[in-house]
Structure formats: C-alpha cells, structure tokens
Amino acid sequence: MPSRSSAHEATTSLVAKGISFSYREPLLRGVDLRLESGQCVALLGANGAGKTTLLRLLGGLLQPDAGGVWLDGDPIQSLPAQRRARRVGYLPQRIPSAPGFAVYEIVMMGLYALLPAHGWESAREWLAVGRALRRVGAQGLLRRPFDELSGGEQRRILLARALVAEPGLLLLDEPFAALDPGFELELEDTLVKLKRQGVAMVIATHRLSLVRTIADRVVVLRAGRVLAEGPPQTVLTAEVLDATYATDRFSRRTSRRPTFGEGQPV
C-alpha cells in the first residue's frame, strides 16, 4: 500500500481523446477531456447525458468503441489492476447492496488489489481505513452493518473507499447525493483540500455552487456530445444551462435582474 503522501507526490495526467461509446444506441460521441494534478473538471448534463458512462470509461471500467483514455501516458485499459487501484479512486452514483458486510470491510475493498500476496490485512491497512473514515466523518461507523446505514451514511462510506488508497485521481459521480447540508459543507472543504494537495478530480454533479467553488474547467454534455467546455465563468451562463437542461428557467430568472448582462454567468 502506498505511503500517506506518495500518491499525492506523483504527477497525475489523464487524457481522453475522441471517446465514443454505445450500448444499443450511441451514448457518447467524440468526447475529449484533459486534466493534470491539482485540477478539477466538472461534468454537467441532464440525466442520461452520459456523465456516468464517461466516468466509467475514464476509470477503465468500460472499453470505448472509439478513441482512448491515457493515464500518465499509458492506455488505461492496459494497466494492471494494482496500478489502477493505486492511482484511481471511484465513487459510484448507485449505492450497491452489500448484505453481511460491515463498514470496515466495504472501505477495505478499496485496498484489496494492493494487499500482500497472503491477502491478510496488516496494521498498515487498518490505519488507512481509519484515516479514510475520519476524513469523511464516519469513524464511529467502523463495525456497523453497511446495509443498515442511511443513504447519506452509505455515501460517506463509499467515498472513504474511494479515498482509502490515497489515489492521485478521483472520479466522483454525484458525491453530494443523499447527504445532509452539514456534511455537504464538510465534504466540499475536504475536496478543496485534496485539490490543493495535488489530487486530480473529475466530478459529475448537478450542484452549480460546487462547480463554481472547485472546478477549473467544466464539460457540459448533451445527448452524448460536448455542448460547451471551458472555465466556469464562461460556461455557466443562462443560455448554456437552458440548452443543457431543456428549459428556459435560467434565462427567465436572470431576465428579472435589470443589471444582468447577456452571457453573464448565473
């Protein structure tokens, strides 16, 4: 298992070029993305726009039909599981059913690819689990059954699992889903601190306040294509948001402000 600082000291580079992917119908078409250590890219888009699929492609969990993803210069699909587990932490949108598993076992799953050949957890792994649970404010849940927790508590545990190996890249799918407002603020602070420590992040979210706070760039997806891309101050306009979510509410809201200029971020 890496030392507490080794993952953050390594330089992380993620590049996606011309990503296309289909299930029965095309879902993503020609998507590009790039980020380096200490940068955050936010993915915006209506439900079904392809955000979750793109995250899974970036993490090597799916194989693109066309294009490719490179992590630190290597095709991510070619990396052995251990290297991927060491470098990439993934928070899924859906909470899995895990009957019979305690919280510490769920978090420890983030380390299984890094365990010694005998497969036994040492004090080092237990310390890593404790650090990850403290980081998400869930140290008191260590031995609780995972399936008996609230949705927000389960979300914290899955985030701890994504953080436990201290990866240089985090892929977070709706990290604020089901969280109470107090922990939302704590989590936002945690993500900002990780970014300052050099962790690279791709975050799929609907929360515009988080995008403004943490994102260096925003990629807006609509029907599997990139509708807009750039820094938050140029992308988060009423016109783009209306087109993204098929509404006119953002324009109507801003039109009631007499000082609001055309193209001004909302």
pLDDT of residue 3: 45
- Name residue 80's amino acid: P
**Per-residue pLDDT tens over the stretch 106-135:** 999 898 777 765 556 778 889 999 999 998
Q: Which residue segments constitute the domains of the chain, with CATH numbers given?
A: 6-235 (3.40.50.300)
> Which structure tokens are listed for 105?
């076992």
pLDDT of residue 120: 63
pLDDT of residue 242: 95
The confidence score (pLDDT) of residue 239 equals 94
**Amino acid 234: pLDDT:** 95
What does the alpha-carbon distance between residue 127 and residue 131 come to, in Å, rounded to a whole number? Answer: 6
CA distances from 7 to 89, 165, 169, 171, 241 (A): 11, 8, 9, 15, 36
d(CA 92, CA 112): 18
* Residue at token pair 């250590």: 37
Tens place of pLDDT per residue across the chain (266 aa)? 444 444 454 568 999 999 999 988 899 999 999 999 999 999 999 999 999 999 999 999 999 999 999 999 999 989 988 888 889 999 998 888 888 999 999 999 898 777 765 556 778 889 999 999 998 889 999 999 999 998 888 988 999 999 999 999 999 999 988 778 888 888 888 889 889 989 999 999 999 999 999 999 999 999 999 999 999 999 999 999 999 999 988 888 876 654 434 455 56
